[in-house]
Amino acid sequence: MNPLLSVKGSLITGFVLAVVIAILAGGDFVFNWLSLARWLHIVAGVTWIGLLYYFNVVQVPGLAAAAADKGGPGGAGVTKYIAPRALLWFRWAAVATFLFGCALLGSAPGRFIDTFTFGLASGVSGPSTVTMGIGAWFGTIMAFNVWVFIWPNQKKILGIVAATDEEKASARKVALLASRTNFVLSIPMLMCMIGPSHGLPF
């Protein structure tokens, strides 16, 4: 059976290929939890932010265009089949990204608290700690938005939970604003993640 014919098979194949490359490139392969956490943090983050960009750049404008096209097929197929599946991956990728990020910060004594206090807890603050702190706080706010504002309101919009037309209209506004907030925060957050040694500038 061709693994490329299913999402599960493709994911497994990708992970197996990555592990094989790690073994071949590492010579004497030594398993490293920290490297694994960093890798999974990045994979989950790409999934989460990729879907965030899909929602904001493709799905929301596409559904608006579908609603405006009175003679068209509408957006029922997207809201019934695509959006729930995308939101499933979206919300759990947010959890995985956050947890693996916390694991990375917790890998060194005091680093977790130091990052979230911008170095004020230890009294040792610098560009790297401040930049990482900003990125960590933005990621935390974004994960909070996913589970507290976006997902509960999307359940009303998609009919997963019962809601009146008025409640759905309110839910659309809240979900959109939370999603757009995450869209905006993701751009500087990614800059904080990849800034040279987290200290910037580019």
Same domain (yes/no): 17, 91: no
Same domain (yes/no): 43, 132: yes
Same domain (yes/no): 103, 16: no
Q: What is the DSSP letter of 4?
A: G
Closest by Cα among 79, 58, 89 to 155 = 79
Q: Cis omega before residue 152 (within 30°)?
A: no
Same domain (yes/no): 87, 154: yes
Rounded-to-integer distance, Cα 21 and Cα 140, Å: 32
Per residue in 121-167, pLDDT (tens digit) is: 998 888 888 889 999 999 999 999 999 999 999 999 999 999 999 99
Contact by Cβ (8 Å): 104, 156: no
Tell me the residue range of the domain where 26 lies. 1-30
Rounded-to-integer distance, Cα 200 and Cα 202, Å: 5
Question: How many domains does the structure of the chain reveal?
Answer: 2
Same domain (yes/no): 17, 113: no
| Structure tokens that stand for 62 in this block | 């596409």
Of 3-7, 32-36, 119-123, 176-180, the poorest mean pLDDT is in: 32-36
Cα-based distances in Å from 170 to 82, 145, 164: 22, 16, 10
Per residue in 92-114, pLDDT (tens digit) is: 999 999 999 999 999 989 999 99
